[in-house]
Amino acid sequence: METKFVYVLVSSETDIYYEQCLLSAYTLRHYNNDSHIIVLVDQATCDTLNKKRSELQQYVDEINVIETPVGYKPVERSRFIK
């Protein structure tokens, strides 16, 4: 049976939330290779998932962008997605 795991990631290039998510997804994939990993992000976070911050894509199955209200702070966007 395939188990699904869902992460919510709201991050910028100046915080460490991406790295925490990356390490967690890497470890999850290592020990549960048959799991299905989904990451929900806001558009601002999705826009930063390139170059140095693109490694996450090799450990997860899906990255889905969730539309969040304009003007929300990062913590509010995270709570909105959750």
Residue-wise pLDDT tens digits, 10-65: 999 999 999 999 999 999 999 999 999 999 999 999 999 998 899 999 999 999 99
- Which pLDDT score is estimated for 1? 61
13 residue type, one letter:
E
pLDDT attached to residue 48:
95
CA distance 44 to 35: 27
Q: pTM score, two decimals?
A: 0.93
* Amino acid 2: pLDDT: 80
Buried b (16+ CB within 10 A) or exposed e, 36-64: ebebbbbeebeebbeeeeeebeebbeebe
